[in-house]
Amino acid sequence: MKLEITPIKLPIIKKGDNLPKIIKKHLKNPNKNDIITVSQTIISKAEGRTINLKQINPTEEAIQIAEKTNKKPEICQLILNESKIIALGENYIITNKNGLICANAQIDQSNAGTNKATLPPENPQETARKIHKTTRLPTIITDSIGRPFRKGAVGTAIAQSGIKPLSSYINHKDLYNQRMKTTTQCIADELASAANLVMGESNQQTPIAQIKGFKHHGKPIETQINRQKNKQIFKPKKPYTKQKDKDKQNQNNSKEEEKQW
């Protein structure tokens, strides 16, 4: 198999732009077997999800989190508004955003403008469907996500339409004629990561990529890639709790101690 991945330059996306039509217009000799990858940032911009940080009034909780994590209180407030905080520490906040475990609730200050940040798309899966319907090409929405035990971020699929995102090798035979028992390949993530190499992370202005040559098999299905909560492997040892919850717990502990005395 030989892949060809082409970054595609787009105009600066603004609130209200018809993103599916803009993407279709800029594709290079599209073929029905091509796959499109789309950065979530331009979806957020088209949805008007760019926020002026000067208009954010941080709560006391956001200010406390900012002191612990060396982040702006305004960013911490947006994170609180957008997600559930799982854990935090110096220079990091780990969040659960619609089942996706990631840093900072996918809130991004790059390519947003001075004193601005972009919130993640409202419904990336629905946007993937719209782009797929307009272009008639399989579509993967991507974001750069850090990994807990590795340095650097990698392109990851946060939604897809028109493609089977997982490929199972269970019961296939290996080189030594042994049947494989567990291997499932996440096609959507691997394509997102490969495309991210050419899409770039800074001022390239190429937020989409066109993949040619990938032979995708199986019926397209919009299945959930994230593990279900009861099947997640890694969990924080000391999950984050709000200061109010801590104070309430301390009060309860004090009452119990008084009863004992």
- Angle at 105 (CA atoms; ends 155, 186), nearest 5 degrees: 35
How do strand 35-39 and strand 139-147 relate by DSSP bridges? parallel
What confidence score (pLDDT) does residue 244 get? 58
What confidence score (pLDDT) does residue 45 get? 95
CATH code: domain 51-120 is 3.90.1660.10
The DSSP call for residue 180 is P
CA torsion 60→62→64→69, rounded to 10°?
-170
Boundaries of CATH 3.30.1330.100 in the chain? 1-49+122-224
Integer Cα distance of 221 and 163 in angstroms: 6
Q: Is 208 helix (H, G, I), strand (E, B) or coil?
A: strand
pLDDT (tens digit per residue) in 120-165: 999 999 999 999 999 999 999 999 988 777 889 899 999 999 999 9
Integer Cα distance of 71 and 93 in angstroms: 9
What confidence score (pLDDT) does residue 226 get? 76
Integer Cα distance of 101 and 245 in angstroms: 22
CATH architecture entry for 1-49+122-224: 2-Layer Sandwich (3.30)
Q: How far is CA 118 from the centre of its chain?
A: 13
Integer Cα distance of 159 and 176 in angstroms: 36
Q: Which residues of the chain have pLDDT under 70?
A: 234-239, 243-261
What type of residue sits at position 130? K
Integer Cα distance of 166 and 187 in angstroms: 5
What confidence score (pLDDT) does residue 243 get? 60
How do strand 184-186 and strand 166-168 relate by DSSP bridges? antiparallel
Boundaries of CATH 3.90.1660.10 in the chain? 51-120
Integer Cα distance of 114 and 106 in angstroms: 18
What confidence score (pLDDT) does residue 261 get? 40
In the block, tokens 């717990």 appear at 249
What confidence score (pLDDT) does residue 194 get? 97
